[in-house]
Amino acid sequence: MLTDPVCGRPSKDAEHVAEGNALHQWVARSALGQTPGQRPVVERARMTAQAQREVVALLRERTRESISLIEALTDEQLGLPCGPPRTVDEFVKRVLIGHYGTHHAEIERKLRRS
C-alpha cells in the first residue's frame, strides 16, 4: 500500500523518485545553460511519505516536466557536457530516465511482499 508511513515502503520510494527527478531536471537544465532556479533538495531524512494521492500527482507532474525537457532537446544539446564525464544524452538516459526504472523494480518488489 502506497500510504504506509514506514521508511523503506513503496510510498517513500515513489516520493524519492519524484524528488530526485526534480534534481535531475535541474542538473540537465543547468548543463543546457538554462536558468533552472534554486537547486532542489532531496529530503532523505524524512521517515514518512506524502499521502498516496499526493505522491501519484507529484510523479505525474515530474514525468510531464521531464517529457517536455527531453522532447525539446536538439542533437547539439544532447552532446553538451553534463558533469564528468558524461553528456546530456548520457545523463538523460542513465539518470533522468534510468532513475525511474531502478526504483520501479524496487517498488514492484515491495508491493508484491506486502
pLDDT digits (tens, 9 = 90+) for 50-86: 677 888 888 899 999 999 999 999 999 999 999 877 9
Residue 50 three-state SS: coil
Answer whether residue 23 is part of any domain. Answer: yes
Residue 47 lies in a domain: yes
The answer to whether 68 and 28 are in contact (CB under 8 A) is no
Question: Does 65 map to a domain?
Answer: yes
pLDDT per residue as tens digits for the range 13-48: 888 888 899 999 999 999 999 988 899 887 766 545
The answer to whether residue 51 is domain-embedded is yes
- pTM of the predicted model as reported, rounded to 2 decimal places: 0.78
Residue 75's domain comprises: 10-113
Structural domain count, the chain: 1
- The closest alpha carbon to 51, from 19, 14, 17, belongs to 14
